[in-house]
Every structure is written in structure tokens, then in C-alpha cells.
Amino acid sequence: MKKLMVLVTVAGLLAVAIAVNAQTKTAEPAKSAAPAKAATPAATTLKGELVDTGCYIGHDAKGEKHVGCATKCIAAGMPMGVLTADGKLYLITRDHEITDPYEQAKTMAGSMVEATGVVAERGGMRSIDLTGIKLAAK
């Protein structure tokens, strides 16, 4: 009797699953032949000091006195950021296709830079997906 009850229960669950699956497939909207292209976000150039985020956020370390420490921290994997003149910090993220600027940035700790890329903000965090970087003109 137990086996019969288990068999009936499994068969019932299977029938419900098949019905839900069939209904889901018919409820999906028709897909167009050509997928819509998403608008490419515009690149922005930020000017500011390249800082290691750990020391800057942790104890406001920046400037010429901190170059040695920032260089070591970045080389050890500490995330980098651009600190703009108005005090906004942008986390530097590595672009998936253009990786050279990110590697170049690692050698610019404590320098004033012009960082180019797509700027974004989510949950209070600002970032720049780096596509170019150079030392800023003095």
C-alpha cells in the first residue's frame, strides 16, 4: 500500500511539472529575429590621484608621502582608485577586452592621472572601467 501511495504521489508531481513546463513555454514572448543592440555607454575621463583604496579609505593616506606604500600595496593586489579634486573616489576596474591600461595604472601610484573609461555607480560605489590612462599634465 505504501508503494502504491508513493507511486501515485510521484506520478501526480510529474503531471504537474509537465503542465507547468508546457504553460511556461507558451507564455514566453516571441523573440525577434534581430536582437536589439544595447546602447554603448559613453567613455569619461577623470582627473585625479591614483590611490590604493585600502590605505586611502582606512586612514586617508595619499600624496607624495604615501607613494612607496601605495606602490607596494597595489603590487600586492590592493584595489586602485582615482581620487578626484572634489573628493570623489572611483574604484578602477579592469576592462574585459582592453587590459593594458589597468596594468599601466599599477605603476602610477600617487601620481596625478587622466583615467578614461565607462563610469558607473551602484549602491553608493563609484567605478571606472578603465580603457585608457596617462599621467596628467601639470
Rounded CA separation 22/78 (Å)? 50
Q: Each residue of 25-66: pLDDT tens digit?
A: 555 555 555 666 677 789 999 999 999 999 999 999 999 999
* Structural domain total, the chain: 1
**Does a structural domain hold residue 22?**
no
Instruction: Inform me whether the pLDDT recorded for 71 exceeds 90.
Output: yes
Domain CATH for 116:
2.40.50
Q: How many residues comprise the chain?
A: 138
pTM of the model: 0.71
- In a domain, residue 4? The reply is no
Taking residues 66-74, report their average pLDDT.
96
CA distances from 114 to 23, 75, 82, 110, 129 (A): 54, 20, 9, 13, 13
The bridge status of strand 89-94 relative to strand 44-52 is: unpaired
Residue 30 lies in a domain: no
Q: Domain of 84?
A: 44-135
Residue 127 domain-assigned (yes or no): yes
92, part of any domain: yes
The DSSP bridge pattern shows strands 112-122 and 125-135 to be antiparallel
